[in-house]
Amino acid sequence: MKQGFMISVCVWIACVLNAQPRVHIIPQPADLQQREGAFLLDQSVQVKASVAGKEIADVVRYFTAAVKQVSGYALPVKTTATGKRIRFNITATEGIGAEGYRLSVTPSQVDIRASKPAGLFYAVQSLLQTLPAIRTNQVLQIPCMEITDEPRFKWRGMMLDVSRHFFSPELVKEFIDLLAAYKMNTFHWHLVDGAGWRIEIKKYPKLTGLAAWRVDDWGKPWDWSQIRFNADRSKATYGGFYTQEQIKEIVAYAAARQVTIVPEIEMPGHSEAAMAAYPEYSCLPQKRSFKDTGDFYGKDVHPNYCAGNDAAFGFLQDVLTEVMALFPSTYIHVGGDEVDKSSWKHCELCQRRIKKEGLKNEDELQSYFIHRIEKFLIAHKRKLIGWDEILEGGLAPQATVMSWRGESGGIKAAQMDHDVVMSPTGPLYFDYYQGDPETEPLAFGGFNTLKRVYHYEPIPAELDKDQAKHVLGAQANLWTEQISSYEHVEYMILPRMPALAEVLWSTKDARNWKDFNQRLQPHLVGFEQKGLHYSKGNFKVDIKPQVVDGKLLVSLETENEDGTIFYTTDGTDPGTGSLRYEKPFEIKGALTVKAALAIHNSMVRGRPAQQSFTLNKATGRPLQYATPYSKYYPANGPSTLVDGIRGTTDAGKQWHAFNGSDMVATIDLGQRTTAGSITLGCLQSYGQWIFFPQWVKFEVSEDGKQFTEMATVKNTVPVADKAPQTKDFTARFEPRSFRYVRVTAKNLGQCPKGHPGEGQAAWLFCDEIMVE
């Protein structure tokens, strides 16, 4: 009897523990022990703060406001609390750094300890992640647990570009809220660029009076020379800026969330907007004088500050003085990237500066520029940070480098004992695609999928232990050329930003992709409940052809290891009743595969992945090229031209490409085969330097040595036909029997006269050779 009771208690405890949802905190805490039982968060709970002070009060206020949102309870804050309570303690806590915390949850008490308010704030974020995202009828329980936690890196950043598109102060605050929820602590605010100046500078009112407004007929977001500013704003259809009062409020808002705002004032390049307002600080301002009315394009101004003009430095120092008064950040970002130095080459003042300072060239002039600005910042007890181009011509003595063109700039700087923030385009440019372009909104090319972000390692293997200490952390950048709405901003950072947060906060050993995916699911539910937009790119199924032993197999893959893939081959959308994918399957005739993922037996919403296959006598047969295809367009590997998938007008997929060279492919059909036509598909896309071949020759052979020409088909589409298009080149003949096929496509050779790439190698794109 007694023993029976014991057993039933154990079973009961196990049940309670099982019923208790697993804590799903992102980023994964350094040490988390979940215990049985829970702290019931109800109206009787009191909040106690161990010490007074604004910073701790900020954290407590943030917490009680958040609890009120999901519960409706206004928890009382007391200096002495009795009964069920949540205690905030600032104490020197051994083994816990400035941002760390200890959190202990028992049925009667939640106890939070940290040496600084930042730690308390991060404990709050961990706590809030155990509660529902929105107010529901759910009983609020915080699972009993013990957490000891602190971050791996001190720079956990996100950059937002507000120049190409402007986001109101309220939206910037929402952005900061999202960062704070995932313990990110640095908001790099890209406040100025060629497409608009967004920060009020009292001494230079034209910066926001003029350069913050444009006529928004900007068809090519990558080309800011096409930006049309509208001096008197009479025709301005787009613009905005932050007043200094708004900035102060945002800085305080961020500080209360433990987020430091690093402002960026771009120089010496990317400065069309500033130069539109104050052309006197650019090179050769006499090129064009602007009146206070009328329109002009970015291309009408020189994009750079004049490095030979002391008045330009005076202007920038005035601007930075006002910037420093607004932003307490130690770091001030000065840009420094992508400087088109041609205006300096032709400027008398710049050339005089080069001579006078004994500089070798314009690279050293850029270095002079950054050195001079750094001196000014250091005199004001600030530190300069800039994009990795600031290495060119010599790095300023104390500069911190933000490495974006890969990691090499960051590695070089760390080896020179400079601090570094890693922000390589792959995988940390969040303006890149995070899933199949066919189901994602327009983005810059390149794939930075959730899994790639999650597996990013900020410390390069090239650095030794001491050099590695210079890596302060990493950040992701959201450039907004293609992003005009805040919903789209959310979409691009969710869920990639939480993945990055785990990279930057959690220990390297704790990284576990499968586990992250499981913890992520409740967060995605929370995003849905809160109406936050996020990408499901991670759930997309990749339909991949594989040729194995002459057979065409299809494999279905997804980054997400937690779900089950269902597919159809009859054109219908897959559901949980459809075929369940287990292993690659063979395709024997023309059909369309549709595939989608189910998580916990529930289909992920959205368009399923889809791929049509067309089979012919060459499908799956061995193919050899006389000259290899470009490694930049691997498509589906060596069998791409016989994989049953036709290339579309999307140049990034399915094509094999030849730069300046011809395509010569020989296919072995395996045995004598009777056929009456051979076809080669090609792509023309003028803007991408891709042209149809001049002609395509089709030959057949019985022994693979002696070939007989069946036809040579000439191209009839003009090279200047700019619309992206595909074309089949086909040889038709009396059916005959042969074993080998050779197809030669003659590259145009060079981009034609009048083309932007005139005289340079033309691309030839081929996909699918069909024998029928």
Is the C-alpha dihedral spanning 37, 40, 44, 50 positive or negative?
Answer: positive
Measured from the CB atom, the residue of 458 and 647 that comes closer to ligand ACM is 458
Among ligand ACM, Zn ion, none, residue 473 binds (CB under 5-8 Å by kind)? none
Q: Which residues face 335 on adjacent strands?
A: 267
CA dihedral 666, 668, 669, 672 (to 10 degrees): 110
Catalytic residue among 193, 264, 389, 490: 193
Residues 308-337 that bind Zn ion (CB under 5 A): 308
Share in percent of the chain as helix, strand, coil (round to 5): 30, 30, 40
349 binds, among Zn ion, ligand ACM, none (CB under 5 to 8 A by kind): Zn ion
Judged by beta carbon distances under 5 to 8 A according to partner kind, the member of Zn ion, ligand ACM, none in contact with residue 591 is none
Tell me which of ligand ACM, Zn ion, none is bound by residue 146, counting a contact when its beta carbon lies within the kind-specific cut-off of 5 to 8 angstroms: none
Cβ proximity to ligand ACM: between 266 and 768 the closer is 266
Q: Is residue 404 near ligand ACM by the rule CB under 6 A?
A: yes
By CB under 5 A, is residue 347 in contact with Zn ion? Answer: yes
Peptide bond into 268 cis (omega under 30): yes
Residue with tokens 């915390």: 101
Between 308 and 647, whose beta carbon lies closer to Zn ion?
308
Active site annotation includes 170: no
Q: Report phi then psi at 468, rounded to 5.
A: -60, -25
Q: Give the containing element (helix H, strand E) for 554.
A: strand 551-557
* Residue 544 CB contacts under 8 Å (≥ 6 apart), including other chains: 554, 555, 556, 557, 636
Give yes or no for a contact between 719 and 682, defined as CB atoms under 8 angstroms apart: no
Q: Considering only 204-212, 275-283, 692-700, 739-747, which stretch makes contact with Zn ion by CB under 5 A?
A: 275-283
Nearer to ligand ACM, 338 or 668 (CB): 338
Nearest to 303 by CA among 279, 322, 327, 323: 279
165, 188, 270, 302: the catalytic one is 270
Q: Residue 267, interface with Zn ion (CB under 5 A)?
A: no
387 binds ligand ACM (CB under 6 A): yes
CB of 44 to ligand ACM, least distance (A): 53
CA dist 584 → 282, 557, 567, 571, 581 (Å)? 61, 10, 12, 19, 8
Cβ at position 275, least distance to ligand ACM in Å: 18
CA angle 197, 434, 483 (to 5 degrees): 25
**CA-only gyration radius of the chain, Å:** 31
Show Cβ contacts of residue 530 under 8 Å, excluding neighbours closer than 6 positions. Answer: 133, 134
Assess whether 193 carries a catalytic annotation: yes
| Selected range binding Zn ion among 346-354, 362-370, 438-446, 608-616, rule: CB under 5 A | 346-354
Map residues 622-661 to x or -, x wherever contact with ligand ACM holds by CB under 6 A.
Answer: ----------------------------------------
Residue of 338, 357, 528, 772 with catalytic role: 338
Place of tokens 């069946």: 710
Q: Which stretch binds Zn ion (CB under 5 A): 244-252, 310-318, 350-358, 383-391?
A: 350-358
**How many chain residues are in contact with ligand ACM, going by CB under 6 A?**
4
**315-344: which residues touch ligand ACM (CB under 6 A)?**
337-338
**Residue whose CB is less far from Zn ion, 349 or 615:** 349
Task: Quickly tell me which residue has 């031209």 as its tokens.
Answer: 641
Helix (H, G, I), strand (E, B) or coil at 216: coil
Q: Does 122 bind ligand ACM (CB under 6 A)?
A: no
For position 63 contacting ligand ACM by CB under 6 A, the verdict is no
Q: Which stretch binds Zn ion (CB under 5 A): 97-105, 280-288, 413-421, 764-772?
A: 280-288
Residue closer to ligand ACM by CB (options 481, 490) is 481
Cβ–Cβ < 8 Å for 276, 213: no
Report DSSP letters for 227-269, one per residue.
-EEETTSSS--EE--B-HHHHHHHHHHHHTTT-EEEEEEEESS
| Nearest residue relative to ligand ACM (C-beta) | 337
Closest CA to 464 of 415, 431, 513: 415
Question: For residue 164, what are its two tokens?
Answer: 């190409």
Report what 308 binds from ligand ACM, Zn ion, none; CB cut-off 5-8 Å by kind.
Zn ion
Which residue, 161 or 643, has its beta carbon nearer to ligand ACM? 161
What does the block give as tokens for 746?
A: 């003659």
CB of 405 to ligand ACM, least distance (A): 8
**Which residues contact residue 289 at a Cβ distance below 8 angstroms, ignoring those fewer than 6 apart?**
279
283 binds Zn ion (CB under 5 A): yes
Task: Please state, in angstroms and rounded to a whole number, the distance separating the CA atoms of residues 272 and 522.
Answer: 45
CA distance 719 to 698: 22
Size of the site for Zn ion (CB under 5 A): 6
Choose the one of ligand ACM, Zn ion, none that binds residue 368, judging by a C-beta under 5 to 8 angstroms depending on kind.
none
- Measured from the CB atom, is 208 or 367 closer to ligand ACM? 367
404 binds, among ligand ACM, Zn ion, none (CB under 5 to 8 A by kind): ligand ACM
CB 21 within 8 A of CB 141: no
Answer yes or no: 232 catalytic.
no
115 or 366: CB nearest Zn ion: 366
| Lookup: tokens for 194 | 């060629």
Residue whose CB is less far from ligand ACM, 368 or 429? 429
The interface partner of residue 306, options being Zn ion, ligand ACM, none and the CB cut-off 5 to 8 Å by kind, is Zn ion
189 forms part of the interface with ligand ACM (CB under 6 A) = no
Closest CA to 552 of 644, 622, 415: 644
Cis peptide before 545 (omega within 30 of 0): no
350 makes contact with Zn ion (CB under 5 A): yes
> Are 590 and 614 spatial neighbours (Cβ–Cβ below 8 Å)?
yes
If contact means CB under 5 to 8 A according to the sort of partner, which of Zn ion, ligand ACM, none does residue 283 touch? Zn ion
597 binds Zn ion (CB under 5 A): no
Tokens of 390: 């600031």
338 binds, among ligand ACM, Zn ion, none (CB under 5 to 8 A by kind): ligand ACM
Q: In 410-507, at which residue ranges do the beta strands (DSSP E only) sit?
A: 420-422, 432-433, 444-447, 471-478
Name the site residues for Zn ion (rule: CB under 5 A).
Answer: 283, 306, 308, 347, 349-350
Name the site residues for ligand ACM (rule: CB under 6 A).
Answer: 337-338, 387, 404
Positions marked active-site: 193, 270, 338
